[in-house]
Structure formats: C-alpha cells, structure tokens
Amino acid sequence: MGKRHASESLEELIASDSPASKRPRVDDEVDDSESINEAFAGNGHLMSPRLQDREKIDILGAAEEEHAELEEAGATPEAALDGDEEESAVTVPVRQTAPVEGYTDLYLDTINRSVLDFDFEKLCSVTLSNINVYACLVCGKYYQGRGHKSQAYFHALEEGHHVYVNMETKKVYVLPEGYEVKSKSLDDIKFVVDPCFTRDEVSRLDKEQKTAWDLSGRKYIPGFVGMNNIKANDYFNTVIHALAHVIPLRNFFMLEDLSTRPQLAQRFSILVRKIWNPRAFKAHVSPHELLQEIALRSSKRFTLTAQSDPVDFLSWFLNNLHLSLGGSKTKPHSSIIQRVFQGSLKIESQQITARADAGDRLRFEDAAVQTEISRFLILTLDLPPAPLFQDALDKNAIPQVPLATILGKYDGVRAQERLNTRVRYRLLHPLPPYLIFHIKRFSRNKFVVERNPTIVTFPSRSLNMSPYVEPNPALCPPGEPIWYDLVANITHEAVRTRDDSVEGEQEGKVWRVQLRDRSREEWWEVQDLFVESERAETLFTKESYVQVWEKRKGGPGGRTKGKV
C-alpha cells in the first residue's frame, strides 16, 4: 500500500473501526468475568484474548493468600499491588506449602555453619530494618521478609542461596519456593540463634561444667569464653563477664521469659545465655547487639568506639536494668538487681566548727550529729595517698595496703573529712548476698587524671565482714563472722601508647577480669578474646579496680549454693 495523501483521512484508507478506548479499572470490576469478556469483544479483530487474561480470575483469587505472606515480609498488600494491577497479578509466583515428596532435604547441603554469626544486631543488610529479619544460612547475611518482593526473596534468586532462618521464630524456610523445613539436622542452628536452657541444666553449671569444642576444634569452657573487643569496649566486656557469674542474676536471665520486657533486658539475657552456651559454633561471643542498645539508651555515653570507666558503666547498667525489669525507684528490693546487690548504710555527719570551746575537733558531738540511712549497690573504698618522695633503695617499690585496712572506712569509728563536714559510715544488717567493691584509683583535677598505683592485698576466700556491720542481735548473733568469697575481680593496667601530639606518648588503659570456676575451683583471666589460667595466690598482684564478693552459707569451709 502506498503512502496516503494528506487530503485522505485515516478512516477512509482503512475500512475498520478504531480500537476501543481503555476504561479505568476499579476494584469491583476485577471479580466480574463478564466485564472482562466484554472488554475483549469490544476490541474487534484488532485484539484477541490472551491465555494469561483468561486465567486472571483464578490468579487474583489466590492473591489473598499471597497478601498474608507479603504482610509477613514487612509490606502491605496495597504496596504489593501498586502500579499495573494486571501485571502484578499475573507475575505472582505460586508458593509451595511443603517440599515435593522425596526432596525434604533439598538445599540443606548448601548451609555453611562456619560463616554463621548471630551475635550482631538483627538488621536487614539492605533496608537496615529490624522487622521480620531472616538470616541466610549460606552466606550469613541478614535480609528482611520472605515474600515475593522481599529482600531475602531477591537474594535467593540472584545468588542462589535458598535456606533462611527467621531470627525471631527460629523457623527455617526454603526460598523462592517458600515452604518451611522441619528437619532435626537444623536444631543446632536454632539453638545457637537463641540458646535455651532447662532448670536442671542451669543447676548443673557450677557442678558438672564440662569442656566443649567449637566447629574449628578449639576447646573452650562455657562461661569462660572470650568476648570480642570491637574497638574500645574492653571496659564493657569485663563488667558483663563479672555479672554473668553472679549465680542468682545469671539464673534469672537464663530461665525467665523476658519477651515483654524492654530490649535492654532481652539482649542482656541473650548475651548471658551465649556466654554459657555449650554448643557454640565459635569459642567466643560478640557483644555488638547489646552495645548498640546501650549506646542508644545512654545517648552515646557508652559506645564501642570510646573507652569508658567500668564503674561508671556498671552503675548506669545496674540502675537501667533494674528499671527495665519493672523495678521501682523508691521501693527497695523491687527487682532481682536490688535483691542481689542492694544493702543499707548508716551515715553520721557533723559540721566542723572553729569554736574555742568545741574541744577536740576530731570528736563527734552527740548533740550535733545527723544520722541518715542510705541504700547502696556499690561500696567505694579509698586508697591511702601514694608517697610523693621515696629513698634511693625503694625508688621502684610499689606501695601495698591490705583490703581490711581500706574497709575500715565502714567501721563506724573512723571519721573522714569532706569539706566542712566530718562523716563516718557503718554497714547495717542484713548484708546483701553479693557485695561490689570499687577501689577508687583515679582522681581528677583541673588538668589531668591522676592514678594511684597502690596494690591491694586480699584473700580469695573467707573475707569476714562482721567488723564493719553494726550489731543487730535480732538478725545476727553478736560476734558471729559473716564470710564472703571472691567471685570476680576487674583489674587495671596502665600501658604506654603512641600519640601524634606534641607529648609523643600517653598512658592508656587495659581492663581484664579474673573469674572463679566453681566446678573446678580454678581461676581464669579474660582479656577480650584471650582466656588464660590464673593462680588464686597471685590475684592481688594486679591493680584491682572492681571486686564482686559472694556471701557464704555456713562456716569458713562452707560453700555457697546458688538458688535456681
């Protein structure tokens, strides 16, 4: 056919009707098959019905089931069908509800347990969302959802990784087929995702502790594992290790259901259970997930990139953990934190006067003494000032002081001066099951932070606290000793580090923790990923900073048994 002239119209050249204009589609027309057939007929011979369009009704009827899966993937049904409704309905894949008979173990041989690390925060690696997160069991990455438009679904198609585990429900699915895998060979992975212990297993932790091996064949002891120092979070690692060996606190977080509690309590519970995991894939744990929550709750006061003081963090963590467990700010012993660590302290204070008739200014005047009862979680012990001048023979000597000497602060007799006030302290019955001592080594002035290197000598067992407690015959017979045994000892070491500033070098801090193994009556020292055996006789040779003492039930030879 030749070109038409400009004077000729298109209708005269082609003896046919123009195609019918498209009508807007609405929801009530989708379910009407007659409306679709009429639309096809109105097109005349220029358009013929497609096979996909004839099956449109059946596909849209099955789309309701797909909407439920899209909601699980974190998307709404409206978002899944946006754009061209006809194209979306046609491309919805058919999902399997169960594997084909004879192929129940399909793709399970592609799982790579050596790359799985469930210690990091559960965020999708693409969307950074923490809703409905799945972990790829082939490469170990996190992805959101498993619907046909989810990140995990795309990853399965692009990379050929087909096995995923839901980080909340611990169910394993095969994508893109979409069916759940119910195989006992995956129980070890589910246990590592969220270790769960029975009451009987927890009760045997301090009696029958056995050696375990990871996937690389490295030997480790559950409860005494290394903790990853991501950058400068060694202060955090030592505190968490010390708290994880307080029996009532450990048992509570290993057995109680905290799913309705804030994330701080949930993540600490998971980390404690991973520390005591006897079936771990790796012989160490990473505190990344808990650290992220702490950085958020503390407004970046405690982070993994800047080193902080262990006592500051311990005080903040105990108080916030107490509130996360529903504890009260005014009512004592309202949570497991206060029931384990909280004690009472009597404080007597007197203002210092310059009157000539006051007599001995170091004596307490009964008429002017003010008495206050205060509650504590941590007891601060003051070191004697380090000598400024030493002779030639003792120029390298490090001063030492017994623990009983600095505990004399709480005997109720010795007075300390604070500005224009004299103060003396006395502990009250009953003492808490666990005592936390803070040996104050650092003092800050306007220019620098000074460190006191004095060594504190102490026994690892049988510390008698009765001389520092005010007698109360109704609670404790007079003269009866109150024995405490050491559980954990956080130590400080000063190291020289290179600095690009004018000074050239500066003093850095290294934090370690010494832990008692009750099942073997041994001591272990943990510094980040390094775990080494330690002798009980040499624990005091390092600069102790925080100590956790456990109240003993029985005499000097007795042994404390924690309640499960």
Mean pLDDT of 211-215: 91
- Does residue 252 sit in helix, strand or coil? helix
Residue at token pair 């070191």: 383
Higher pLDDT, 299 or 499: 299
Phi, psi of 68 (to 5 degrees): -65, -40
Considering the domain architecture, whether residues 81 and 208 belong to the same structural domain is answered as no
Residue 328: inside a domain, yes or no? yes
C-beta atoms surrounding 544 within 10 Å: 24
Average pLDDT of span 490-497: 87
The number of CA neighbours under 13 Å toward the Cβ of 482 is 24
Name residues whose C-beta falls within 8 Å of residue 107's C-beta, 6 or more positions apart in sequence: 162, 163, 174
Question: Percentage of the chain with pLDDT > 70?
Answer: 74
Question: Which is more confident, 221 or 419?
Answer: 221
Is residue 564 included in any domain, yes or no? no
List the one residue out of 72, 65, 91, 98 whose CA is nearest residue 150.
72
Domain boundary among 192, 208, 235: 192
Q: Which of 133, 160, 192 is the C-terminal boundary of a domain? A: 192
Helix (H, G, I), strand (E, B) or coil at 57: helix
Same domain, 389 and 494: yes
How confident is the model at residue 373, as a pLDDT?
93
Name the residue with higher pLDDT: 294 or 501.
294
Using the predicted structure, report yes or no on whether residue 510 has a pLDDT greater than 60.
yes
Domain membership flag for residue 250: yes
Whether 204 and 290 share a structural domain? yes
Residues 6+ apart with CB under 8 A from 564: 199, 202, 203, 251, 255
pLDDT at res. 78: 43
Q: Cis omega before residue 432 (within 30°)?
A: no
Kindly state whether residue 103 falls inside one of the protein's structural domains.
no
Kindly give the pairing relationship between strand 455-457 and strand 400-402. parallel
Do 223 and 347 lie in a common domain? no
Q: Same domain for 65 and 164?
A: no
Please report whether residue 182 resides in a domain. Answer: yes
Q: How many structural domains are present in the chain?
A: 4
pLDDT tens per residue, range 32-41: 444 444 444 4
Indicate if 296 and 349 belong to the same structural domain.
no
Q: Report the alpha-carbon distance of residue 494 to residue 512 in Å, rounded.
A: 12
Domain boundary among 312, 341, 366: 312
When pLDDT is averaged across residues 107-121 and rounded to a whole number, the result is 90
**pLDDT exceeds 70 at position 256:** yes
Measured CA to CA in angstroms, residue 303 lies from 286, 300, 314 at distances of: 14, 6, 14
159 and 216 in a common domain: no
What band does 500 get if pLDDT is binned at 50, 70 and 90?
A: low
Give yes or no for residue 235 having a pLDDT over 90: yes
pLDDT at 393: 60
Q: What CATH number is attached to the domain comprising 165?
A: 3.30.40.10
Q: Smallest Cα–Cα separation from 265: which of 276, 252, 278, 275?
A: 252
Whether 115 is in a domain gets the answer yes
The sign of the dihedral angle between the CA atoms of 6, 8, 14, 20 is positive
Crossing angle between the packed helical segments 56-72 and 33-41, to the nearest 10 degrees? 130
Q: Which of 134, 144, 136 is nearest to 112 (CA)?
A: 136
- pTM for the whole structure: 0.78
Residue 491 has pLDDT above 90, yes or no: yes
Residue 457 lies in a domain: yes
For residue 6, what are its two tokens?
């400009």
CB 435 within 8 A of CB 548: yes
Cis, bond preceding 176 (omega within 30 deg of 0):
yes
pLDDT in tens, 8-41: 555 554 444 444 444 544 444 444 444 444 444 4
Cβ pair 283, 530 in contact under 8 A: no
Under the banding of pLDDT at 50, 70 and 90, the label for residue 162 is very high
Task: Name the pLDDT band for 223 (thresholds 50, 70, 90).
Answer: very high
**Residue 441: CATH number of its domain:** 3.90.70.10
**pLDDT tens per residue, range 329-342:** 888 889 999 999 99
**Secondary structure of residue 310 in the 3-state scheme:** helix
Angle at 505 between CA 503 and CA 511, to 5 degrees: 135
Tell me the residue type at 19. P
With beta carbons less than 8 A apart as the criterion, state whether 289 and 122 touch. Answer: yes
In a domain, 16, yes or no: no
Across all residues in the chain, what is the average pLDDT? 81
Partners of 136 in the beta sheet?
164
Lowest mean pLDDT segment, chosen from 22-26, 57-61, 460-464, 538-542: 57-61
Stretch 51-79: mean pLDDT, rounded? 46
Q: Are residues 427 and 294 in the same domain?
A: no
Q: Specify whether 442 is located in the same domain as 348.
A: yes
The mean-pLDDT minimum among 95-99, 174-178, 197-201, 261-265 falls in 95-99
User: Which is higher by pLDDT, 237 or 414?
Assistant: 237
Specify whether 84 is located in the same domain as 129.
no
Q: What long-range pairs does 142-146 form, CB within 8 A, spacing at least 24?
A: 142/167, 144/73, 144/74, 145/70, 145/72, 145/73, 145/74, 145/75, 146/69, 146/72, 146/73, 146/173, 146/175, 146/178
> Is there a single domain that holds both residue 351 and residue 499?
yes
End-to-end CA distance of the chain: 95
Residue 203 reports pLDDT greater than 80: yes
Same domain for 266 and 289? yes
Which residue range forms the structural domain that includes residue 246? 196-312
